[in-house]
Amino acid sequence: MRLIISFLLLPFFIFSQEINLTYDQANNIDFSSKIKNYTKLKSYTTKFGTVINVGDTLTLGKAKKNKEKYIFDDTYSFVVNGKRRGNKQDDYEFLPHHYSGDKVVVLSIFATHATSDEYKLWNSRKSQPLYISLYVKNPSKGSGSGKFLSTIANSSFRTVIDIDKALEFNEIFNENMPLSRVEAIAKLKEHKDLYDLGLISEKEYNILKEKLTPIIMKK
């Protein structure tokens, strides 16, 4: 009897604790259906192969353009102010683009089931894939920064909604991690555009191309 009870309780003990999760597991319905919304993770391996850990330092990239919704000022599409959970984007205050280059520290990582609007083939939300979000903090702002005005404004906390999409659109990147092949291609394309526009020199472009070519050619 004890053996049967222990077997039945095993999933509870596994998924009530912080776990290490991969992109493939998050999109495997048999696996992800056992994980509750807002389950905290120790680490997450993204679809690009990079591993995000609690305590890592990340950098805010350039905001993804969204001119249709934001006419007067560009904002991030996957980074919002404060600590936010859930899928209701109407409640989000998306971060203005001028925070590009800010360093943020990962405070926590959590998983959320996608909404039925995005995945209509599944009937229940728990039977849908997971997307992974991060609570992050700018250590130079807010409480603990030593800056009085920033502390009052409480402007240091951010939520990265769906880290895979944030990485895909270069809104978030980790300078300490080696680039994946996909990231290297995206970076080289971006600098090719800058070269074509005359914003960087041919020498600068060729130096980067030489550096990224081994990563791109490695399949």
Same domain for 54 and 88? Answer: yes
Instruction: Give 55-94 pLDDT, tens digit per residue.
Output: 999 999 888 765 455 455 688 999 999 998 866 666 788 9
Q: What is the count of structural domains for the chain? A: 2
Instruction: Give 37-55 pLDDT, tens digit per residue.
Output: 999 999 999 988 889 999 9
Same domain for 183 and 108? Answer: no
Same domain for 60 and 142? Answer: yes
Is residue 182 over pLDDT 70?
A: yes
Same domain for 84 and 160? Answer: yes
What is the pLDDT, as a whole number, of residue 141? Answer: 67
Same domain for 83 and 144? Answer: yes
**Domain span holding position 201:** 178-219
Same domain for 34 and 128? Answer: yes
d(CA 121, CA 178): 36
Instruction: Give 102-154 pLDDT, tens digit per residue.
Output: 999 999 999 999 875 544 544 555 678 999 999 999 987 655 444 444 444 44
Same domain for 93 and 200? Answer: no
Q: Quick one: pLDDT band at residue 27, thresholds 50, 70, 90?
A: very high
